[in-house]
Structure 1
Amino acid sequence: MTTDLRPLAPQQWDLYFDRLLRAFGGPGDAPEARELWRRLTETERSLAAWDGDELVGTSGAFSFRMTLPGGAAAAVAGVTMVSVQPTHRRRGVLTSMMRRLLDDARERGESAAVLTASEPAIYGRFGYGVATTQLYGAIDTARVSFAAPPGADGVRFRLAPAAEVAEPCEAVYARLAAERPGMLVRQPGWQDVPLLDPPRNRGAAGELLCVLAESDGEVRGYARYAVAEGWAPAGPDHAVKLRDVEALDPVTYAALWRYLGSIDLTSRIDFRNRPADDPMLHLASDVRRCEVGHRDGMHLRVVDVAAALSARAYSAPVDVVLDVEDAFCPWNSGRWRLSGDTKGAQCERTTDPADLALAVRELGAAYLGGPSLRALAGAGLVSELRPGALAEASRAFHGDIAPWLPHGF
């Protein structure tokens, strides 16, 4: 079967989005969410696969800037809205869309493509590796308290509907995004994504609230949450549904968690996406009763090896030759000499003997400093060809702050 892959015409957006929702199942998005995604969609980067007059596949990309190890922000393609209708699975539709999206990213000078996956097993065959993880959990606040360092009692809290205090929260986010790899520099319009709160999607929860944490008149942190009603025979059993909690300093961060753990009528904090190295794990009095787990977050695909590896800094001096295998984007295949340190790096083709051999999928997984090359080698996914090269490269790639993607797209 031959499908016709074409850029999305703006007037086709409703059909495109309807087919996306049909492929994913469920009742569909609330009107408020639908309108937000309409505004954010870059139709010139969106693809529709047609079988005659029938739209059978959707995909697209957002033009993002993402923080890298060392603090630089790089242009990346945020692959999104990928679907194939059940009538056209296993016929090459997804492969043709992935081919076009990666070719387009390369032409635009984007050294990497990123996505969040509905099913993690899908994208490895296209060279994506799991570069970040999400911490999730449910904290029993009837039994767990949070440590309060000196100064926490001086933090002042101010509560408001989340949309009314978005500006100071964005200022805090911008400062934090410049420090943590994997975070996205907010482009115009994206400040509305964490505020999306359709009433029909709340279930037993109330409206999305935001508590601002202030010291000396300055907003130093915030938490966005809703309270979900629940009642047990013994009395109230409400839950804090935490969406975001961020702060510019440890005292404010601890004060925010103490606030969240002491909201009247609540006995639990549920959270779905925190960084793997969240300090909350060290503030909680009993981590066992936090019921934490990890799941995949951002999947990253290196589009241009030389540009990607040259764009980030490294935790320790490194000078290695990488033999990269990339069947889907063959321009990446071959040997590359990477030389760098904390100040920057350069990467270029070489004919020198290889020190390490790996596929582009594993390069993407290690790129932001999350999974270590040593751990990947332990799984048989990275081969050491020169003694000592693995330790050298693993130290250099790995960072002291876990990469993290705060929200999907």
Structure 2
Amino acid sequence: MSHDVRVLRPDEWDQWYDNLIRAFGGVPESSEERELWRTLTEPDRSIGVWDGDVCVGTAGAFSFRLTVPGGASVPAAGVTMVSVAATHRRRGLLRSMMRRQLDDVRAWGWPLAVLTASEPAIYGRFGYGAATYDVTIEVDTSRVRLSVPPGTDDVRLRYAAPADVLDACEAVYARRVPDRPGMPARLPGWERLGILDPENERDGGSPLQCVVAERDGEVVGYARFRVRPGWETSGPKGVVLLKDTEALDPAAHAALWRFLFDIDLTSTVSALRRPLDDPWMSMVSDIRRCGLRVRDALYVRLVDVGAALEARTYQAPLDVVFEVEDDFCPRNAGRWRLTGDAKGASCGRTTDSADLALSVRELGSAYLGGVSLASLAAAGRVRELRQGALAEAAVGFGSAVTPWLPHGF
């Protein structure tokens, strides 16, 4: 059966988006949330599959710039809103959209595509590898204490309406972006995601609250959160539901977390999507009572192997030849020589003997420095062809700061 795969027209957005919502269960979003995603959608970077005049498939891409090791901000397609109608499964529609989309990304000159996966098993066959992980926490604050660094008491905290301090909070976030691989620089409009507060997403909690940390009149951090009241016969058992927090220095970071731990009538701090090396973990008295649970987050796909590997730097000098397998985008397949260090890198085609053999999926996993090539080799997914090449590459590809995706898209 023939289907029409084409770029989305703005006047088709409602039908296109309705197909997406139905594919994810059909529960309507709030008007506020729907309007935000309408505004953020880039129609000229979105595609739909049409069966006659009915939309049966969706896929979009956001124009991101992603921090990579070394601090560079690299163009990346933020793949999003992917769906296929249940009536049209197993007809190759998803493959057709992924094929069209990666060809488009290549034509735009972007070396990377990234996504978050609703089901991790889906995207590996298209060359995406899990590159960042995050941690969900549930801290028993009635039994866990924080040891804070000097200067914490010098930080002033104050409540503020989230919308009133949005610009100041966004400025803090923007200063943090170059410091950690995996963080996207937010284009205008994306700051509204941080204060989106539909009632159906409050999980029994209050409307969104915000506290800012200040020093000498400057905002140096913030925390946005809700409080879900709770009571037992023994007393209050409220939960602090942390949405997000950023800070510019250790003292501001500690002041915000101490505040969250000490909110009256609560005994738990719960949060999703925190970095694996979040500094508060080194401040707590008992990490076992923090309910840590790790899960996959950002998946990375190298659209142009040479350009992507040249865009980042490397912790230690390396000179390695990769034999890359890429069945879905054969233009990436073959041997690539990567030479790089902490100052820069070059990567180009070569006929020299390969040192390491792997697929583009493994390169995507290792790209941001959070997944070790050595661990992938231990799983049989990277083959060492020259003795010592694996250790050289594994060290070089590492990152001093764990990569992290702070929010979904």
| SS of residue paired to 2:165 | helix
Q: Which residue of structure 2 lines up, in the alignment, with residue 107 of structure 1?
A: 107
* Alpha-carbon separation, structure 2, partners of 1:119 and 1:141: 33
* Alpha-carbon separation, structure 2, partners of 1:42 and 1:18: 16
Q: Which residue of structure 2 lines up, in the alignment, with residue 174 of structure 1?
A: 174
* Alpha-carbon separation, structure 2, partners of 1:322 and 1:11: 46
| SS of residue paired to 1:65 | strand
Q: Which residue of structure 2 lines up, in the alignment, with residue 299 of structure 1?
A: 299
Q: Which residue of structure 2 lines up, in the alignment, with residue 59 of structure 1?
A: 59
| SS of residue paired to 2:164 | helix
Q: Deviations over 1:287-321 (max 9, x none)?
A: 11101011000001000000000000000001000
Deviation, structure 1 residue 26: 4.5
Counterpart of 2:10, as a letter, is P
* Alpha-carbon separation, structure 1, partners of 2:120 and 2:164: 36
| SS of residue paired to 2:184 | coil
Deviation, structure 1 residue 164: 1.3
Q: Deviations over 1:120-155 (max 9, x none)?
A: 110000000001011111001011111111111111
| SS of residue paired to 2:168 | helix
* Alpha-carbon separation, structure 1, partners of 2:137 and 2:199: 24
Q: Deviations over 1:19-60 (max 9, x none)?
A: 100000042211100000000000011111011222111111
Deviation, structure 1 residue 203: 3.7
Deviation, structure 1 residue 235: 2.2
Aligned pairs for 1:1-400 (under 5 A) are 1-400=1-400
Q: Deviations over 1:59-105 (max 9, x none)?
A: 11011101110011010000000000111111100000000110000
* Alpha-carbon separation, structure 1, partners of 2:373 and 2:396: 10
Contact 1:59–1:97 (CA under 8 A) maintained in structure 2? yes
Counterpart of 2:57, as a letter, is G
Deviation, structure 1 residue 218: 1.7
Deviation, structure 1 residue 117: 0.7
Q: Deviations over 1:223-276 (max 9, x none)?
A: 110111222222221110001111111111111111100000111011001111
| SS of residue paired to 1:164 | coil
* Alpha-carbon separation, structure 2, partners of 1:234 and 1:14: 50
Deviation, structure 1 residue 200: 3.6
| SS of residue paired to 1:327 | coil
* Alpha-carbon separation, structure 2, partners of 1:179 and 1:256: 20
| SS of residue paired to 1:357 | strand
* Alpha-carbon separation, structure 1, partners of 2:251 and 2:147: 10
* Alpha-carbon separation, structure 1, partners of 2:133 and 2:329: 25
Counterpart of 1:297, as a letter, is A
Deviation, structure 1 residue 7: 1.1
* Alpha-carbon separation, structure 2, partners of 1:367 and 1:34: 33
Q: Quick one: percent identity of the two aligned structures?
A: 60
Q: Deviations over 1:164-196 (max 9, x none)?
A: 111111111111101111100111111111111
Counterpart of 1:91, as a letter, is R
| Range with greater deviation from structure 2 (199-208 or 105-114) | 199-208
* Alpha-carbon separation, structure 2, partners of 1:184 and 1:350: 32
Q: Deviations over 1:319-357 (max 9, x none)?
A: 000000000000100000000000000000000000000
Contact 1:319–1:338 (CA under 8 A) maintained in structure 2? yes
* Alpha-carbon separation, structure 1, partners of 2:294 and 2:199: 29
* Alpha-carbon separation, structure 1, partners of 2:320 and 2:359: 16
* Alpha-carbon separation, structure 1, partners of 2:262 and 2:14: 44
Count how many residue pairs are aligned between Structure 1 and Structure 2: 409
Deviation, structure 1 residue 199: 2.5
* Alpha-carbon separation, structure 1, partners of 2:375 and 2:202: 40
Q: Deviations over 1:206-228 (max 9, x none)?
A: 11111111112221111110111
Counterpart of 2:173, as a letter, is Y
| SS of residue paired to 1:163 | coil
Counterpart of 1:112, as a letter, is L
| SS of residue paired to 1:178 | helix
| SS of residue paired to 2:331 | helix
Counterpart of 1:338, as a letter, is L
RMSD: 0.9
Counterpart of 2:377, as a letter, is A
Contact 1:161–1:207 (CA under 8 A) maintained in structure 2? no
